[in-house]
Structure formats: C-alpha cells, structure tokens
Amino acid sequence: MTDTPTALTQARQQDSDARRRRVLTALAQLATAGETLNISSVARAARVHRSFIHRHNDLHAAVLAHAARAADTGNDATVSRTSLQAELANATERSRRQAAYITELEDRLSEALGEAVWRETGLGAPADLDTLHRQITSLQQEVTELRRQLTERTEELEAARAASRELMAQLNRPKPS
C-alpha cells in the first residue's frame, strides 16, 4: 500500500513540473513576441489556472519581472511613436492653416496693390460709395412702390373676377317662365 501514495506523489510532482515548464515557456514566448504580459495572459498561454501562478512565488515573480521589463522597453517605443504621430498631425494641421493664411494675405495684398495702381494711373477711380448708396436707396423705394401697385392691381383683378362670376351666374340661371 505504500507504493500507491508514492506513485501518486510522483505523478502529481511530474504534472506540477510540466505545468511550471509550460508557464516558463509561455512567458518566454509572450515576451519574445512582444505580447501583453500579465498573470492572465501567461496562464492562458500555458493552459493553467491563474491561481497556479499565484501559488508559486517564483513563477509569480518571474511574470511580474518580465511584465515590468516589457513595460520599460515597450512603452517608451510606443509612446515615442504615438507622440511622433501626434506631433506630425499637429504640424500638418499648422502647415495647412498657415498656407490658408498666406493665401488670404496674398489676395489682400493683390487687391490693395491693384487698387493703388488703379488710382495712380488714372485709368479709373473706384465708384463713389455715396452715389452707390443713394442709388440703392432709390431702387429700394422703387421696388416698394412697384410692390404696392402690384398689390393694388391684384385686388382690382380679384374684384373684377368676382363681378364676372356673379354676372355669369346670373346669365346662367334659368329665367322664370
């Protein structure tokens, strides 16, 4: 009977050793691949329960040490790449805004120079603003008057149509015999 517990103990020890090797192998593979390193990911890759890693202090410490090393080396490159991409996006947007502003300034300069040349050469003078404002006011008054006349004529037309309908209705009524 003493052989059975020894055989069970040996089988359990072999199983535990095999699981430990799987954990260490999975840890090395995940670290090499640059995958996320934490207790859950290593346990999943090694096909063991998380509590197995927690119960074995050396495995737990190894996972945490690899995770810390990966965080030190991996995040610097990731943060650096991310920050460079953000900086590039900001620089591109700034360049676009500056190009639009330069175009606006060029247009304004061109307009100002054109107006100055126009005045200095005597080819023509810019339109007098007061004259234009008076003309606008005059045209607005004319539009108002024409609208009033249109309304008046529309009312007269409606009255004429109503009278016409009334007369037609009288003509179409049968005459008393």
Q: Where are the domains of the chain?
A: 3-87, 128-177
What's the mean pLDDT in 141-147? 96
72-76 LR contacts (CB < 8 Å, sep 24+): 74/34
Name the most confidently modeled range: 2-16, 68-82, 120-134, 159-173. Answer: 159-173
The better pLDDT of the pair 81, 85 is held by 85
Burial grade of 35 (CB within 10 A; 0-12, 13-18, 19 or more): middle
Give the global pTM. 0.41
What's the mean pLDDT in 80-96? 86
